[in-house]
Structure 1
Amino acid sequence: MYGTVNGFTYGWITPVVAYVMACLGAALGLRCTVRALVMERSRRAGWLALGAVSIGSGIWTMHFIAMMGFTVDQVEINYDKSITFLSLGVAIAVVGAGVFLVGFFGRGAPVLLAAGAITGVGVAAMHYLGMAGMKLEADLAYNTGTVYLSIGIAVAAATAALWAAVSVKGFAASIGASLIMGVAVTGMHYTGMAALRVHLHDSGIAGGLGGASPAAILAPVLIGPVVFLFLAGVVVALDPPGVQQTRYEPVREPAQGRRPR
């Protein structure tokens, strides 16, 4: 027997808030990456790391805010916190791999495609690992074709985001890129959810595990990443505006036979 799946238990509230968090993480990450690319290499790693954590936290927060609106009518859902936080680590690590690749090895097509593939597959892995953290009296099954489609969307979104990070200039352009990335990342999530089928155990019908609602379980877990995104926004906002416009240039010696003025 299959359970009745509802991904919009609270209507459009959770999808909209999830989208906003994805855009916030993307915007902060793009601004950090832009600043990193105009700095000397010795200072680049810190901004790239901040950008990776911002994007990864935004994607992860988007996923679990969206999951607060996910229910199966016949059973209660709990979450394994260790797997949930492991999925956060995966999101940050794979985004970091992509960001550092383009940050230190150039912005050519081969690097962008490789970085986008690594990051996109990693983001999809974060999504399905987070789904594996659900505890309910049922077995989860996925439509293979829809899963591949969600991975393709994730790879395309990651590649576009990395391209924007190294190509888009200006605050307004970064905001526009982050809005597009938010659509792609949120679309990847709901495409992956559309692939899901929940096969109930006999013991899961009419009550199941019981316990707290997904919102009650996930809300405390989300506090840390949300606070981090806020603090990252403060750091980006307070960074002296001249810093990101400065490139490292070696001091040039005056030409022979000419005296400096």
Structure 2
Amino acid sequence: MEFLDVQHNTALVIASIVVALVAGFTGLTLSKDLSTKSVARRKVSIAMSAIALGGGIWSMHFVAMLGIQMPILFFYDAAITLASALLAILIVGTALLLLHFRERTPFTLSAAGALVGCGILAMHYVGMAGLQLCRAVYTPLGILLAVVSAVGLCIAAFWIAYGRRTNRNILLGTLCFGSAVSAVHFAAMAGTNFVALPTLHEFGPVMSNETLAMGVILSSFVIFGAFLWMGVTFFAPTAGEAAQQPIAAQDSKASPPVPAPTLATVRIPCEHNGVTKLIDPAQVAFVQAEGHYTNVFTKDAKHFCGWPITEAITRLEASGLIRTHRSYLVNPAQVNDFERLKDTGVCRFAAPHLPPVPVSRSHLKGVRDVLGI
């Protein structure tokens, strides 16, 4: 078996790495602060993030592939090439849904990172299967390096970017994601040889490098446009940060700010048989996460609420409810007794039908301080 001599265009190699970094920044920034948004807006933002990240994986790969120079003419199968892009977007979207609609635990972060790593690998090898008039021959070492770099760096990217959703962490996560995409491609290519084939094995229409270049230019234009859009507002303070700015920093000549709504206007919408009942937070004993939704417990009954636990936290902490656990909010005025269990605890209520609520180690001190224990 005679292998073909392969060269790489340095400028396109550098361009492919830039595309990966830009896509990583855009995708991770688009999914920032989603806990404060409605479910519909979160889904739209996740879809856009998936397109940015998945499309960036695809664009990086084929920008680098455009830089490959071989002594033969070769083409790409359009159907397989398109399938590789859609596969990357779908897998990345699944990982983002896991992060934003499930409890964000160390396992969830690792699973999402591993899933994106698998998406990068799937996109790479499916995309390579679309080559016509030549065939890629892989080495075990090249595949092993690609797998380890993809999964390891993607897990690191999600642990960093989602550990704390700060600008610094998003930038560090971007570097990890860009490195993962680039490392998969170049580690795999370092262990890949090519042999010429005499005939086409078409699954779909065949396209040349020139046609592929048009698709890559279009996808890169969209990604860079989104990058500029997100970059303009990246360092702007969020609503929470703006609220913490000292009043002295405001323009003394400006109109006085509109007063914030009073706590009495905060009501919890609970649904039953098509009717939405608005419950005063003062009547609530505790709120419990239930998948994408929450259960609201009062002294009389258990109610269903369409808010996810993240939205309940955002809306109800100002009303005096406190977090005792990643899945629970408790009204301290309703707590009847507290029991310390080594480095955790339990809150109990006077109503006999109300179950006890766990207090995790990370929230133990805050709960004890609020209860005056």
Structure 1 gaps of 5+ residues are 205-210, 257-261
Q: Is the 8 A contact 1:149 1:191 kept in 2?
A: yes
Task: State the Cα distance separating 1:59 from its structure 2 match.
Answer: 1.2
Match of 1:2 in 2: 2
- The AA in structure 2 aligned to 1:177 is G
Q: How does 1:51-200 map to 2 (within 5 A)?
A: 51-73=49-71, 75-136=72-133, 138-200=134-196
Q: Secondary structure at the match of 2:195?
A: strand
Aligned-pair identity (%): 28
Cα 1:121–1:194 change in 2 (3 A) is: same
CA distance in 1, matches of 2:240, 2:46: 16
Q: Is the 8 A contact 1:3 1:72 kept in 2?
A: no
Match of 2:219 in 1: 225
CA distance in 1, matches of 2:100, 2:207: 43
CA distance in 2, matches of 1:33, 1:126: 22
CA distance in 2, matches of 1:234, 1:162: 22
Q: Is the 8 A contact 1:35 1:47 kept in 2?
A: no
Q: Secondary structure at the match of 2:61?
A: helix
Task: State the Cα distance separating 1:53 from its structure 2 match.
Answer: 1.1
Give CA-to-partner distance per residue, 1:98-151, whole Å, 9 cap, x none: 111111113212112222222211210100111111111x33321123212202
Q: Is the 8 A contact 1:36 1:244 kept in 2?
A: no
Q: Is the 8 A contact 1:115 1:159 kept in 2?
A: yes
Question: 28, 49, 69: which is aligned to 2:26?
Answer: 28
Q: Secondary structure at the match of 1:159?
A: helix
Cα 1:88–1:7 change in 2 (3 A) is: farther
Q: Is the 8 A contact 1:98 1:162 kept in 2?
A: no
More strand by share: 2
Task: State the Cα distance separating 1:161 from its structure 2 match.
Answer: 2.3
CA distance in 1, matches of 2:11, 2:196: 28
Q: Is the 8 A contact 1:39 1:244 kept in 2?
A: no
Q: Which has the larger radius of gyration?
A: 2
Q: How does 1:43-58 map to 2 (within 5 A)?
A: 43-58=41-56
Give CA-to-partner distance per residue, 1:40-85, whole Å, 9 cap, x none: 4443222122111111111111100000111322x21111111111
Q: Is the 8 A contact 1:6 1:72 kept in 2?
A: yes
CA distance in 2, matches of 1:42, 1:252: 25
- The AA in structure 2 aligned to 1:85 is L
Q: How does 1:197-216 map to 2 (within 5 A)?
A: 197-201=193-197, 203=198, 214=209, 216=210
Q: Is the 8 A contact 1:151 1:188 kept in 2?
A: yes
Structure 2 gaps of 5+ residues are 200-205, 242-310, 321-330, 334-373
Q: TM-score if structure 2 supplies the norm length?
A: 0.58
Q: Secondary structure at the match of 1:249?
A: helix
Task: State the Cα distance separating 1:197 from its structure 2 match.
Answer: 2.0
Q: Secondary structure at the match of 2:188?
A: helix
